[in-house]
Amino acid sequence: MTDSGSAAHELEEGTELQLDFHKLATIAARGAEVIPVAVQHADSREVILVAYANREALQRSRRTRIATFWSTSRNELWIKGEESGNSFDLIEIRVNCEQNSLLYLVRPKGQGICHTKNSQGMARDCYYRRLDMDSDLLENLDP
């Protein structure tokens, strides 16, 4: 495993808290005109992920009824599930009071949500770890 692969594995599977408080500053420095999108399961109300959308992603989401985002790491349109088949049917879009974030209510299609897998090789939700508020360690809820 490469150093970057090892670092990514530790970030995604480790127990050490390594929050990226520079994420929004990095996005802003690139000049990306995006807003956060909270993605929630339309039936269970479980929070699935947080992503970003620009105007193009929002328009495409509305037109296709498939959740579409702007990838801040690749700087391109990200149609969730385009490669994996694990897309989100877009049921409803909500806008917050300040009109600076969105909530997508979705129904996942396919087998998974997150790009990470548990030890059985199954896709899992993006929020698969819990922060122990006393120790600041992460507990994997879907190892």
Question: Quick one: CA dihedral 7, 12, 17, 23, positive or negative?
Answer: positive
Q: Topology of domain 3-140, per CATH?
A: Ubiquitin-like (UB roll) (3.10.20)
Residue 95 phi/psi, 5-degree rounding, is -120, 135
CB count in 10 Å sphere of residue 26: 12
Give residue 41's Cα distance to chain centre. 13
Domain residue ranges in the chain: 3-140
Question: What is the per-residue pLDDT for 2?
Answer: 64
Question: What is the per-residue pLDDT for 87?
Answer: 92
Model pLDDT for residues 34-51, shown as the tens digit of each residue: 999 999 999 999 999 999
Q: Lowest mean pLDDT: which of 48-57, 74-83, 105-114? A: 105-114
